[in-house]
């Protein structure tokens, strides 16, 4: 009996100790103990973040203050967001992991800063620095790496950082997705309700005929009198049968290997299909880009290049920053082009359907067209785009000394 009483007492002491440890683990951060024992210093993870703040972030702030205006205001918001993230990392490095519900509250200041940065961009669509504001707004969500996935969740940040040195740092944020084709998400035309639906509509059409089979001449009633005598009955083209010796053989189109490569000074983008993530980011002024036989795809060219040629492409979208020479569109169909910076000339030849979105800096661009139709130039106005058609018909008259040509008014 005495042995049993001693065992019960030992169990009670063990339960009390477990309860004490549990309360210590779930204590609010303000009362948590410093698990790293860091007094007067910071953890290696926070020290690494400080190096980032003192280098690239500081350089960004310095250059933004030189530009001043909207860019400087936006940059100060970014600085505040980084400071909020540092405060979170510092807390995570010093205290044990809190409850999952508490983590959301700790992340709220960072979330609010990100929302503030994106809201400022939306409210300043008419700014001359709108492209700069957009670039920052679209990249600032990278601060959310601390809440991405089960490996790098915000709660696990506490677990990793509070376990002391010797463990690997959290994984880097995932790379950003492909840039959208058009910055103007609020476009109100029915034909293009949003930039995500733009190419979804263009990609309609030919897809509906993919399941149809070609009918050969020997199966056509008007070319085969024997079929008329049979009341027009013939084998269904969907059923298998042995073709006659005179039946022409069908040849499937040859598939080419997609190309996106730099050869010397020329970027070759060829035979790309159903790709909306094509990006050329490492460019130089002396380089040119040649885009050939690409379909249902989108390409972004960053930086400044000499010229761009789009040849034999269908349902193709191009976004670029700066071109010092000319953008040439030839023998193509359903082309969408967005200019983020400047371009002096756009030439359109033998093309059906070409829509060009100009930036504020590219309004002096000259459009040269020949043997083309369905061309539209979209001009930014009041935070939106206004569409202007390019004339396709002209009238010419002799004024006594020379020929005078001007656009013809289309009579309804």
How does pLDDT run across 266-300, given as a tens digit for each residue? 999 999 999 999 999 999 999 999 999 999 999 99
Listed by start position, the domains of the chain span: 8-161, 259-407
Which of the four pLDDT bands, split at 50, 70 and 90, describes residue 386?
A: very high
- What is residue 408's predicted lDDT score, i.e. its pLDDT? 78
- CA-closest candidate to residue 147, choices 74, 90, 89: 89
Q: What is the pLDDT of residue 359?
A: 94
Dihedral class, residue 289 (left if φ above 0, else alpha if ψ from -120 to 50, else beta): beta
In this structure, of 10-19, 264-273, 351-360, the range with the lowest mean pLDDT score is 10-19
User: What is the model's pLDDT at position 291?
Assistant: 96
Which CATH number, 2.40.30.10, 2.160.20.70, 3.40.50.300, 1.10.1240.10, labels domain 259-407? 2.160.20.70
Q: Report, in this order, helix, strand and coil percent for the chain, each rounded to 5.
A: 35, 25, 40
**Running DSSP on this structure, what letter comes out for residue 109?**
H
Q: Which residues contact 279 (CB under 8 A, 6 or more apart)?
A: 178, 179, 299, 300, 302
- Lowest mean pLDDT of 7-11, 86-90, 137-141, 307-311, name the range: 7-11
Tokens describing residue 332: 């193509």
Would you place residue 122 in the very low, low, confident or very high pLDDT band (cuts 50, 70, 90)? confident
Whether 98 has a pLDDT exceeding 90, the answer reads no
> Of 179, 205, 201, 183, which Cα lies nearest the Cα of 191?
201
Integer Cα distance of 91 and 15 in angstroms: 30
pLDDT for 266 equals: 94
Q: Do domains 8-161 and 259-407 have the same CATH topology?
A: no
Per-residue pLDDT band for 250 (boundaries 50, 70, 90) equals low
Gap between the Cα atoms of 169 and 167, Å rounded: 7
Q: Which residue has the higher pLDDT, 380 or 160?
A: 380
Distance CA 264, CA 258 (A): 18
At residue 130, the pLDDT reads 85
Question: Are 366 and 343 in contact, with CB atoms under 8 Å apart?
Answer: no
Tell me, what's the pLDDT at 181? 46
Instruction: Considering only residues 194 and 55, tell me which one the structure prediction assigns the higher pLDDT.
Output: 55
Over range 10-17, report the average pLDDT: 59
Could you read off the pLDDT of 304-317 as tens digits, one per residue?
A: 999 999 999 999 99
What span, in angstroms and rounded, lies between the C-alpha atoms of 236 and 249?
A: 18
Residue 26 is predicted with a pLDDT of 44
pLDDT for the residue 319: 96
Provide mean pLDDT across the span 166-193: 43
- Range with lowest mean pLDDT among 81-95, 118-132, 183-197, 360-374: 183-197
Question: Residue 373: which of 350, 396, 346 has the closest Cα?
Answer: 350
Both tokens of residue 384?
A: 């939106």
**Six token digits for residue 62:** 């310095």
CA atoms within 13 A on the CB side of 131: 19
Q: What is the maximal distance between C-alpha atoms in the chain?
A: 131
Q: How far is CA 39 from the centre of its chain?
A: 44
Angle 284-289-294 from CA coordinates, rounded to 5°? 145
Q: Higher pLDDT residue, 318 or 61?
A: 318
Structure token digits, residue 182 = 């058009």
Considering the four listed CATH numbers 3.30.2020.10, 2.40.110.10, 3.40.50.300, 1.25.40.330, the one that applies to the domain covering 8-161 is: 1.25.40.330
Of 206 and 262, the structure prediction assigns the larger pLDDT to 262
Q: Is pLDDT larger for residue 191 or for residue 344?
A: 344
How long is the chain? 412
d(CA 62, CA 55): 11
- pLDDT for 253 equals 62
Q: What is the DSSP letter of 170?
A: P
Reported as a pLDDT band with limits 50, 70 and 90, residue 182 is very low
pLDDT at 183 over 80: no
What's the pLDDT at 1? 53
pLDDT for residue 12: 62
Supply the pLDDT for residue 134: 85
Mean pLDDT, rounded, of the chain: 74
Q: In the prediction, which pLDDT does 41 show?
A: 67
CA distance 174 to 177: 9
């Amino acid at each position: 009996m005495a042995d049993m009483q001693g065992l019960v007492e030992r169990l009670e002491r063990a339960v009390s100790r477990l309860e004490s440890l549990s309360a210590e683990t779930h204590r609010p951060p303000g009362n948590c103990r410093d698990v790293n024992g860091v007094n007067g210093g910071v953890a290696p993870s926070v020290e690494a973040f400080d190096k980032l703040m003192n280098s690239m972030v500081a350089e960004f702030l310095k250059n933004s203050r030189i530009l001043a205006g909207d860019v400087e205001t936006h940059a100060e918001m970014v600085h505040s967001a980084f400071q909020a993230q540092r405060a979170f990392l510092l807390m995570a490095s010093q205290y044990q992991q809190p409850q999952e519900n508490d983590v959301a509250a700790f992340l709220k200041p960072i979330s609010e800063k990100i929302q503030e940065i994106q809201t400022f961009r939306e409210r300043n669509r008419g700014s001359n620095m709108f492209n700069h504001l957009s670039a920052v707004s679209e990249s600032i969500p990278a601060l959310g790496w601390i809440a991405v996935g089960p490996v790098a969740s915000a709660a696990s940040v506490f677990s990793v950082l509070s376990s002391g040195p010797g463990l690997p740092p959290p994984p880097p944020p995932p790379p950003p997705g492909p840039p959208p084709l058009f910055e103007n998400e609020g476009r109100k035309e029915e034909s293009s309700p949003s930039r995500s639906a733009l190419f979804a509509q263009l990609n309609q059409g030919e897809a509906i005929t993919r399941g149809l089979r070609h009918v050969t001449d020997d199966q056509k009633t008007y070319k085969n009198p024997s079929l008329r005598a049979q009341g027009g009955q013939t084998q269904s083209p969907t059923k298998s049968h042995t073709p006659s010796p005179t039946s022409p053989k069908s040849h499937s189109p040859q598939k080419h290997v997609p190309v996106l490569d730099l050869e010397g000074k020329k970027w070759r983008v060829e035979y790309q299909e159903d790709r909306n993530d094509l990006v050329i980011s490492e460019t130089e002024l002396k380089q040119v880009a040649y885009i050939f036989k690409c379909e249902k795809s989108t390409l972004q060219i960053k930086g400044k290049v000499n010229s761009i040629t789009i040849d034999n492409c269908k349902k193709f979208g191009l976004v670029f920053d700066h071109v010092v020479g000319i953008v040439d569109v030839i023998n193509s169909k359903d082309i969408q082009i967005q200019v983020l910076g400047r371009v002096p000339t756009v030439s359109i030849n033998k093309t059906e359907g070409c829509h060009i979105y100009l930036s504020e800096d590219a309004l002096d661009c000259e459009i040269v067209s020949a043997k083309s139709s369905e061309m539209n130039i979209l001009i930014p106005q009041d935070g939106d785009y206004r569409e202007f058609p390019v004339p396709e018909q002209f009238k010419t008259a002799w004024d006594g000394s020379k020929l005078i040509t001007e656009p013809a008014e289309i009579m309804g």
